[in-house]
Amino acid sequence: MSRKVGFIGLGIMGMPMAKNLLKAGNTMCVYDISPKATKEMEQLGAKIASTPREVAEFSEFVMTMLPDAPHVEEVYLGKNGLIEGAHEGLILIDTSTTDAISTRKIADEVAKAGIKMIDAPVMGVQPTAEQGALVMCVGGLPEVVEACREILMTVGSKVVHAGPIGTGKILKLTNNLMQGAALCVTAEALALAKQMGLDTETFAELFKANLIRNFEFGVFKMVQKNFDAMFKTNLMLKDMRLAHGMATAQGASIPMASMGREMLQLAVNGGMGDEDCTSVFKLYDKKN
């Protein structure tokens, strides 16, 4: 079904998302501070607005993809912002990666204007956006999320509804927190393997065949709070000590892995040595 869809923020991720919405047959109105970006969309058939307010006045749905919270606040709440173009039935979809607090603040003002909003930050990179295969981490009322599902699935391949407004941002940021830390410790391990003469392709093969599966398995054990031993904490700690000694002898720096070893030591000290190594989760989950 063709819709009137607005898009604000035609950057690396926003441009391919807007193009996919246009290709799907929607009537588009776009806004960006870059004349080059808006001209490209205009040549493809989109209407160009001079303010976010004009985008809102034109649209049934407005999707935003902006750099940071101050930009989102300005576009939504500033002079000639989206809420100044509020009208019955309008739904705003913020796909920017910002924090939950600022998102909820904006959502409160949006609600006062009599319109609806969800947050839907995306998981993926530019090629994923071009393919329309982003994972949408969504926060908002269930009925509003359902009203937006067709739009979300035009730019993405999966919608994960996390809960109320702002939880999409929490889901995205906690996931990226994990990915960022995992990326650093992977870089440490790869560099150490290379320094010690191991072929990096061999390292990558093991990563694909074993470690990714183990990470996935570990997450589910933590979620289920099933700490029956598959690989005991004291054995993981022993292997971490051996690896740390190997790195020290090589003169390699492994600060991320060293912190992991210390956390496993705390788990063993706390009586979790014979439990599964995923029991380290208990050190972080003290509130529960």
Residue with tokens 């599966």: 213
Distances (CA, A) of 36 to 43, 62, 115, 159, 227: 11, 21, 31, 31, 55
Q: Catalogue the active-site residues.
A: 172
**Burial group, residue 199, by CB count within 10 angstroms (0-12, 13-18, 19+):** exposed
On whether the CB atoms of residues 97 and 169 are closer than 8 A, the answer is yes
Closest CA to 122 of 146, 153, 147, 144: 153
